[in-house]
Amino acid sequence: MSGSGMITLALSKGRIFEETLPLLAAAGIEVTEDPEKTRKLILPTNRPDVRVVLVRATDVPTYVEHGGADIGVAGKDILIEHGGENLYQPLDLNIAKCHMSVAVRADFDYAAAVKQGSRIRVATKYTTIAREHFANKGVHVDLIKLYGSMELAPLTGLADAIVDLVSTGSTLKANHLVEVEQIMQISSRLVVNQAALKLKREPIRAIIDAFERAVGAPK
């Protein structure tokens, strides 16, 4: 757990960081440095007892679970893959919204392959979500773990399909891929270290409550 009186918030750069700023403002917290303009990984705020640490999106649950941060913001996709059982997840923040889908090359007949009981090769970063989805459908798959540029896999013959996050769908379209199944809606959640919640209950509860009011407020 981070320093005795200090509240440490783990965020990832980019969309989650940007969309968390208004929620922080609602809690009276302003980050005083722009992560795009500094190489610092620990950013101060206008409150001496609150700091922000910048970590990879996939590492947010790890930092919070093991006490490197007291609270964090992480996508549902990351939490499922990490296994969020040891984290208190009080709030869906309804930010960084997108969905998880199965996509294939436009000329691949996914429905026929599923119907025939073919073994489908699926490339994804999200192996837990993919495994569960296809198991529930009774579809046999070989999962290929990739860390990025998922769209390349069907184009190069590495895989028949991909499971990936889709926001606008423009990347799929640009690479002649089509969505064939939507698996789940994704948004980001507030996660809290269990020990920190006990030891720093009042300041953390105040942040949770402010976030909750801001999320519930009309846009």
Which residue ranges make up each domain of the chain?
Answer: 7-96+187-216, 98-186
Q: Does the pLDDT value for residue 12 go beyond 70?
A: yes
Q: Does the pLDDT value for residue 1 go beyond 70?
A: no
pLDDT tens-digit readout, 34-75: 999 999 999 999 999 999 999 999 999 999 999 999 999 999
**What's the token pair of residue 50?**
């609150």
Q: Report the distance separating Cα 81 and Cα 131, nearest Å.
A: 11
**CATH for 7-96+187-216?**
3.40.190.10
Tell me if domain 7-96+187-216 and domain 98-186 are identical in fold: yes
Which 3 state secondary structure label does DSSP give 42?
strand
- Residue 175 has a CB neighbour count (10 Å cut-off) of 16
Architecture of the CATH domain 98-186:
3-Layer(aba) Sandwich (3.40)
pLDDT tens-digit readout, 113-140: 999 999 999 999 999 999 999 999 999 9
